[in-house]
A and B are shown apart, each in its own frame.
Chain A
């Protein structure tokens, strides 16, 4: 295989592995802040008479902090690998657009990476060593840091999709306006889309693990509450995500029409294009096999007009992404979204009718919840494949081709390291899921292991700072 394909596979493998963990930790940071705040509030309210309620929130906070710590560690180590792979796999990228990508990556490390890593220690171990307020602040800084990190990284990624605010002098890119670079046309949509994806991934993780605990008969006292938080979050966030996803699609149609054509399997430019429910796009013969379609619906969805025009792949020469992966990647993401909508709304309604008692829910529904534990991962990865493969054959859309910036390291060496990375990543994903399952099944044991986290009485401790 040639070096370009291997370098792309290696980068893709690393990105795929990496994104799994930030997707959880971005949303989980804020959820922990919420649980932390609920605990503090219920503890203070009514003169501490509601201590069982407060204890439940504390249990939830402590349990999910452990999930967060594990997730965060995996995100950090795979993120470090990425900072090296920019240079090892795509040396030409930084040589050309380094003046734009460099500061964005630099600000991510300086403002976000350090913030979250610096305060994580206090958040995980500092309870009882610092005052309640400082601990709450540390939790906030970690949550804020993970989101800020996403801000910078998505600014760069969006610039690579819809470049703006730059000028080219002697083949090297220079910045004209930082505001235009950062808030490039696709950035607001991509950022919102990703933040909601993170919220949904966390919501279904909460729902799924709680349902698993109920099924196994090992539910913590916090499980009913955690399930309610998860279902409520999902029921609110899914429709919002569908709305934002639609806006993002319209934005993509405007700026990257070839990506849309590949997602929808449209070869010839046409008005009133049908929506393909199923097809197998064939890049060699340049047509679709086994089409199942609904007339005019693609035009209606994408242009909000029945006979709106959609440009076909054939009008882009060779400068379009491979349609097969795009077509199915998009359908996996959308299908997962529809399933999430149905599950969260039906689930919330039935859960409310059961009086928020998970034991009274139908077993089948609990199994559905458990089955959807990692549905957020599937949708997120499928979505990222669509957006990243959809940028090909460019690394900076319309401007710099991926093939022109690839490293000259021998293919054998890339192949060897690819093999090592993939083996490691698969093993770690298996270990991660296995440990989450183990923690869910033995919650008491997990909570007992940290005697260091004593319940501190607010106000009785020194300010710490």
Chain B
């Protein structure tokens, strides 16, 4: 491959930025949503701790979704119209879910005590609705919005698997951020969510090449497949390590952060696999990066802003996580 000009490389840079935003969103709001979906299994006091553990972060986490969709809108306007047109109804449902979840954070502690339960239920319902809708959207997007009996089935499978992955993330977050009885329960929750999440991941890894010939040709050719094998292998090892850790005592002590870190690695690996499957398309088999991109002039203006602001955002995000490091027990929602 010859080096492309800067103007031709701009859409690639923006695709990478969009991918990065979406990855950060899925990981960071993934644990928020996972905690939300575990709410109905907890006692009233545990619910307060669970919400407190994600309270300082969720606002900023959700902003990555706005940035991801913003880049899609700004850098690939043609793809934005196409993708959101195809996903009109699930997008609506996701937004309603995110709205309910987001406002429940505040309403549950400010409303009358008698209404708190209702807001907790809406917190759970909103988290679940948003996660399922995101799974469905991911399934439809990865398969290029294909039509045929197998495509909705594929999307439905991901609509179950992604929430399971979020629940596992949420449980791992709680193992890291809480202690005592709640931490013990979080270990149990993680054990329960592990099998369906791994099953779903396996199923999807096998089904994706089946529904998409493009993806099949990408992966199952020599010699690429040998190098690519690293991705599923590392994913498998990480997931097995998570399962193993859940059985040890260390996960309640000094290694409480490890399951969460391993799951982040799994998400990153899955993302790399996905990126490899789709590139250079924005919409699989329909629209490439260069067909969908805005003018280089506009992209340069935004890139300038990105280069200045993204390091700053990373800086104060790290600062915020440092401020709220440690167990979440004594945090109260303002």
Contact = CB atoms under 8 A, between A and B. Distances in A.
Contacts of B319: 465
Nearest to B85: A409
A83 B69 contact: yes
Interface string B264-306: 0000000000000000000000000000001101100110011
A109 B302 contact: no
A215 interface: no
Contacts of B320: 118-119, 121-122
B71 A106 contact: yes
Interface string A135-174: 0000000000000000000000000000000000000101
Given A84-B84, A125-B324, A438-B111, A73 B73 contact: no
A110 B324 contact: no
Nearest to A408: B85
Contact of B305 (A88, A111, A115): A111
Contacts, number: 221
Given A407-B85, A413-B89, A452 B332 contact: yes
B80 interface: yes
Chain B residues touching A, majority SS: helix
B257 interface: no
Contacts of B102: 73, 76-77
Interface stretch (B51-59, B168-176, B179-187, B191-199): B51-59
B65 A102 contact: no
Interface size class of B (residues with CB under 8 A): 35 or more
Interface in A393-429: 407-409, 413, 416-417, 420-421, 424, 428
Interface in B226-244: none
Interface in B312-334: 313, 316-317, 319-320, 323-324, 330-334
Contacts of A452: 330-332, 334
Interface stretch (B38-46, B92-100, B247-255): B92-100
A48 interface: no
B96 A84 contact: no
B110 A439 contact: yes
A342 interface: no
A122 B56 contact: yes
Interface stretch (A93-101, A319-327, A351-359, A366-374): A93-101
B67 A110 contact: yes
A70 B310 contact: no
A66 B334 CA distance: 6
B89 A79 contact: no
Given A94-B73, A118-B313, A118-B317, A103 B302 contact: yes
B107 A435 contact: yes
A109 B319 CA distance: 19
Interface string B80-93: 11011100110110
A102 B73 contact: yes
A165 to B, nearest CB: 13
Contact of A102 (B99, B110, B298): B298
Contact of B59 (A76, A98, A109): A76
A125 B334 contact: yes
Interface residues of A, number: 76
B38 to A, nearest CB: 21
A417 B84 contact: no
A438 B110 CA distance: 8
Chain A residues touching B, majority SS: helix
B3 to A, nearest CB: 26
Contact of A417 (B62, B89, B302): B89
B109 interface: yes
Given A105-B74, A109-B63, A453-B332, A129 B110 contact: no
Interface in A67-97: 69-70, 72-74, 76-81, 83-84, 86-88, 91-92, 94-95
Nearest to B84: A87
A401 B47 CA distance: 50
A270 to B, nearest CB: 44
B293 to A, nearest CB: 10
Contacts of A407: 81, 85
B66 interface: yes
Nearest to A425: B99
A285 interface: no
- Most B C-beta atoms less than 10 A away, residue of A92, A106, A120, A439: A106
Contacts of A125: 55-56, 324, 331-334
A84 B313 contact: no
Given A73-B106, A76-B102, A438-B112, A124 B333 contact: yes
A465 B320 CA distance: 10
B75 interface: yes
B309 interface: yes
Contacts of A288: none
A192 interface: no
B6 to A, nearest CB: 18
Contacts of B153: none
Contacts of A83: 66, 69-70, 73
B92 to A, nearest CB: 4
B189 interface: no
B69 A77 contact: no
A65 B334 CA distance: 7
A95 B297 CA distance: 15
Nearest to A70: B106
Nearest to B65: A80
A316 interface: no
A243 interface: no
A317 to B, nearest CB: 30
When A and B form their complex, which 4 residue pairs have the shortest distance between CB atoms, in order from nearest?
A91-B81, A121-B56, A102-B74, A452-B332
Given A113-B63, A120-B60, A416-B89, 19 more contacts: A69-B334, A73-B106, A74-B103, A81-B99, A84-B69, A86-B80, A95-B81, A102-B302, A106-B71, A110-B305, A110-B309, A118-B60, A121-B59, A174-B295, A431-B107, A452-B331, A452-B332, A452-B334, A464-B323
29 contacts: A70-B106, A73-B105, A77-B102, A80-B65, A80-B99, A83-B70, A87-B72, A87-B80, A91-B85, A98-B77, A98-B294, A98-B298, A100-B298, A102-B73, A105-B73, A106-B70, A118-B63, A119-B316, A119-B320, A120-B60, A121-B55, A121-B324, A122-B56, A125-B55, A126-B324, A417-B92, A431-B107, A434-B111, A452-B331
Interface of A: 62, 65-66, 69-70, 72-74, 76-81, 83-84, 86-88, 91-92, 94-95, 98-103, 105-107, 109-111, 113-115, 117-122, 124-126, 129-130, 172, 174-175, 178, 407-409, 413, 416-417, 420-421, 424, 428, 431, 434-435, 438-439, 446, 449-453, 464-465
